Amino acid sequence: MTALRALSAAAAVWPLLAQDYSTLRRNMVRDQIERRGVRNPAVLDAMRTVPRHLFVPKGLQNAAYDDSPLPIGFDQTISQPYIVGAMTQMLEVTPRDRVLEIGTGSGYQAAILSRLAKEVYSIELVPQLARSSAALLRDLGFLNVTVKQGDGYLGWPEKAPFDRIILTAAPPEIPPALIEQLGRGGRLVAPEGVSYQELVIIRKDASGVVRRETSFAVRFVPMVPGSK
Ligand code: SAH
């Protein structure tokens, strides 16, 4: 009895075979993402190929393709797959784009963007997460991603302007520096708000006029003021 219990406990944390993960990944895209209306073929393709289980803690790999966010340490989470798919589709990334991400976390969203964009710049506040995601992205060959440790409220002025900007932590209001660093014809997608959050899409047209619209309600970790 105890042996059996020990065995089933072991099975829960035992990693699956690579082919099992790819089956789980295909099912995730079909059932959680396509079925809920994400149709952009490039986004779906990226989500079918990026090995999400390598971006979650080892003991949670078997849950990597579940329909939920997962903890990645330091009180942070990797977003639910559907949210990654929906936000990436809203961002309308093209292969010419230079993209800024705020909140690298596990590096998973950056890896998805890496497949769609020319270059990805990603800022992470927590030094350990910045280091580990940079190393993982490099080891897995996502070579067009540059991660730096820093405060996302400031953006990355040396690399601006950006064609696309995505925030994966929620500020009370979209930081003005980020709107400034958005290029003309650019687009920013972010969760915004404190107790109630919703996804915001900001567009800057060819003459620099900024327009804002909102989409559905979400729950993200807060974007922490970095320069305290
Ligand atoms: N995109 C990530 C999601 C990470 S959760 C992924 O795919 O895994 C949000 C991340 O934003 C956390 O890692 C958190 O540390 C980071 N964060 C919070 N406030 C920040 C700030 N001011 N600047 C940069 N990163 C921040």
Q: Which domains does the chain have, with CATH numbers?
A: 3-218 (3.40.50.150)
224 CA → ligand 1 middle, Å: 9
A 10 A CB-CB count for 56 gives 21
104 CA → ligand 1 middle, Å: 5
**Structure confidence by residue, pLDDT tens digits, 11-34:** 666 778 888 999 999 999 999 999
Residue of minimum CA distance from atom 14 in ligand 1 = 103
Distance, CA of 202 to CA of 38 (rounded, Å): 20
Catalytic residue among 22, 79, 114, 122: 79
Distance, CA of 64 to CA of 20 (rounded, Å): 12
For the Cβ of 124 lying below 6 angstroms from any atom of ligand 1, the answer is: yes
Asked whether 129 and 74 are in contact (CB, 8 A), the reply is: yes
**Structure confidence by residue, pLDDT tens digits, 116-162:** 999 999 999 999 999 999 999 999 999 999 999 999 999 999 999 99
Q: What is the pLDDT of residue 3?
A: 65
Judged on CB neighbours under 10 Å (0-12, 13-18, 19+), 40 is middle
Question: Model's pTM, two decimal places?
Answer: 0.94
| 8-state DSSP, 119 | E
A 10 A CB-CB count for 143 gives 9
Residue of minimum CA distance from atom 4 in ligand 1 = 105
Distance, CA of 30 to CA of 48 (rounded, Å): 9
Judged on CB neighbours under 10 Å (0-12, 13-18, 19+), 141 is exposed
Distance, CA of 199 to CA of 214 (rounded, Å): 6
Residue of minimum CA distance from atom 23 in ligand 1 = 152
**Structure confidence by residue, pLDDT tens digits, 160-190:** 999 999 999 999 999 999 999 999 999 999 9
Which of ligand 1's atoms lies nearest the C-alpha of 126? 15
Which residue of 52, 224, 227, 228 sits with most ligand 1 atoms within 8 Å of its CB, as the best mutation to test the pocket?
A: 224
| 8-state DSSP, 30 | I
For the Cβ of 103 lying below 6 angstroms from any atom of ligand 1, the answer is: yes
Question: Residue 79 catalytic?
Answer: yes
Across the range 190-213, mean pLDDT stands at 98
